[in-house]
Amino acid sequence: MQNLLLIFFSAILVNNFVLNKFMGICPFLGVSKKLDSALGMSVAVIFVMLTATAITWPIYNYLLLPYELEYLRTIAFILVIALFVQLVEIILKRFVPSLYKSLGIYLPLITTNCAVLGVTVLNIDSKYGFGESLVNALGGGVGFMVALLLFSGVRSRLESCNVPKAFKGMPITLVAASIVAISFAGFSGIVEGIFG
Amino acid sequence: MRKENSRLSVLLNGIIHENPVLVLLIGMCPSLAITTMAQNALGMGLATTFVLICSNVVISLLKKLIPDTVRLPAYIVVIAGFVTIMSFALKKISPELNKALGVYIELVVVNCIILMRAESFANKNGPIRSAIDGLGFGIGFTIALLLIGSVREILGLGTWFGMQVLPEAVDPMTVFVNPAGAFFALGIIIAAVNFISRKLKNTGRRDTSVKACSGCAACPSNGVCGHMEGGEE
């Protein structure tokens, strides 16, 4: 249990996917402008990260590993994620149109979100068990949400600031992201201190 | 002669006018993650260039065979295949670089630059032009990574490609090697690029902003992304 808590909280705070591992930077910078879209995107990412892990972990350990096909990992994982995202989109469109309306536009972007492929690959590389992998994926997704929501707040403040011309748009956003990343760096060591 | 010129412009397009990282602002994940040292940046740039050229050529050859409705998954499979080949090669050629780049080698698959070039160039052009386009964008990406990597390594570690550059007495600013420094360095570099291109094109608006939009059209994030703001006044 303690082990799982450690994985969960370090995935959120210390090894935050966006601010520490730089995975999912595109949605982080692209979708964080408004709080609503940031929330929708993060919920979709949490869901896909969890289910993608639940699918790819058995595929790797029970299909690729026994037949010594580890080198097919990249191809297999990205195909599974792409197909799965497509499937979710079709199912949502058909059966839960209201949810599709709010999450639908984010789903196609998730295939190319490196955080999703990243979490499945990292789970295998860190030799996590099935439960640990799921917890890591959940923590990674929640960490993504925390970073995105916090940053959308920062950005709405930024909108009203008068910045030098050359810094308008992306550069000042990156500088602001750097300050948010510094604040997250303050968490390193704390999680291990509490749960370790 | 005219043909030569157009090929040169295809090549230069990726390096300067539509530099993926510095102008189009795509492919940010690797450009932030592995640029702690110039050496890693160069390795990542070359690896991505290899995948970009190969996938561009193959996709351009297959463009008539791939049905339109399943083209994105088909592109991803082609790209993933070449990433696997590249990671095998890298393991053999330079195990330490492979270790330093770690999981980001596999994440080349989801690098938006490669998918974007497949979608917006390779499926409309012949294999030779696609190869040149891949080379141009690869070089542009490598130059940008090298620039970020050099700034971060010189300021953060006081070295460049492992050689001592700053005098030992100067304390390196380690924040540049940390994640926070990555965002900061990239922000400053993009601001500098904006500043220079504004100076060069003093008359009117930057025309790169218009091009950036045509790049965005192919980007999967098109719907919700706010990149267009880049060149607005």
| A120 assigned to some structural domain | yes
Residue of A19, A121, A170 with shortest CB distance to B179: A19
Interface contact A41, partner B, CB < 8 A:
yes
Show the domain range for A173. Answer: 2-188
Contact check, Cβ <8 Å, A169/B231: yes
Closest CA to A121 of A23, A30, A191: A23
Distance set, CA B42 to CA A157, B8, B101, B189 (Å): 37, 23, 11, 17
Question: What are B97-144's pLDDT values in tens digits?
Answer: 988 888 888 889 888 889 888 888 898 889 999 999 999 999 999 999
| A195 assigned to some structural domain | no
pLDDT at B218 over 60: no
Closest CA to A26 of B178, B219, B233, B23: B219
| A193 assigned to some structural domain | no
Closest CA to B83 of A192, A106, A78: A78
| A165 assigned to some structural domain | yes
| A170 assigned to some structural domain | yes
pLDDT at A49 over 50: yes
Domain count, chain A: 1
All residues of chain B having their beta carbon less than 8 Å from the beta carbon of residue A152 are none
pLDDT at B227 over 50: no
What mean pLDDT comes out for the span B148-157? 90
| A196 assigned to some structural domain | no
| A194 assigned to some structural domain | no
CA atoms within 13 A on the CB side of B182: 24
From A41, which residue of chain B is nearest by alpha-carbon distance? B224
| A152 assigned to some structural domain | yes
Question: What are A147-184's pLDDT values in tens digits?
Answer: 999 999 898 888 888 888 888 888 899 999 999 998 88
